[in-house]
Amino acid sequence: MEGLDDLLSLLKRVKTKGWDDAFPDNLYDNDSKEAIRRNPTSSGHLSTFLNAIEEARVCMSALNEAQRRVGKRLRCLRRLSKPFVLEDGIKRIPDDVLAIVFEMGHHFGGGRHPFAVGVSHVSRRFRSQPRYCGQQFTNPMEKVRFENFFPGQVDLISTSKRTVVTIPSLF
């Protein structure tokens, strides 16, 4: 890659001398510590300035390419780590707070699919949480007839803190 060697030598100068002395005012010797100011008086000095400008342009080009590639890598890492960050955040939510979220979703949710049913498709923890907040799936006005349910549904009903549970039919 063009300019990478120049960029590495510049970074080496910055590491050893610091930012202030990496670009001394003396354009004729980039490695000198003293800042000698000279104005170009002849065409011989013009080539020195043009060489310094070209070196800076090549270093800037290499820096831009490195910034573009590191930025692309950073965006890729953020995109790949997002599910793990969300999973970790969900695991850290206390059950009490999660129960409040389910209760609020039950009260304010509406539409064809209730909030708790939609959220329960997200994780096993969300599917088990409504058992502990009985109001979401309870309906005290209806009688539950256990012969109409499959064995897994009867287990769900029996673990729901002895409340009457309404399970909507998907058929």
Tens digit of each residue's pLDDT (9 = 90 or more) over 3-50: 888 888 888 888 888 877 777 555 555 443 333 344 545 566 788 888
Tens digit of each residue's pLDDT (9 = 90 or more) over 85-122: 988 888 888 878 877 877 777 677 666 666 666 666 66
| pLDDT on residue 75 | 97
Tens digit of each residue's pLDDT (9 = 90 or more) over 37-64: 445 455 667 888 888 888 889 889 889 9
DSSP 9-30: HHHHHHHHH-HHHHS-S-TT-T
Please give the C-alpha separations between residue 54 and each of 38, 46, 94, in angstroms, as whole numbers.
Answer: 19, 12, 60
Instruction: Tell which residue, 24, 18, 46, has the closest CA to residue 36.
Output: 24
Tens digit of each residue's pLDDT (9 = 90 or more) over 119-140: 666 666 666 655 555 544 444 4
- Supply the mean pLDDT for the chain: 70
- The whole-model pTM stands at 0.48
Per-domain boundaries in the chain:
4-82, 93-158
Residues with Cβ within 8 Å of residue 98, at least 6 apart in sequence: 125, 126, 129
CA–CA–CA angle 64, 56, 31 (5° rounding): 125
| pLDDT on residue 164 | 54
CA dist., res. 153 & res. 166, Å (int) = 11
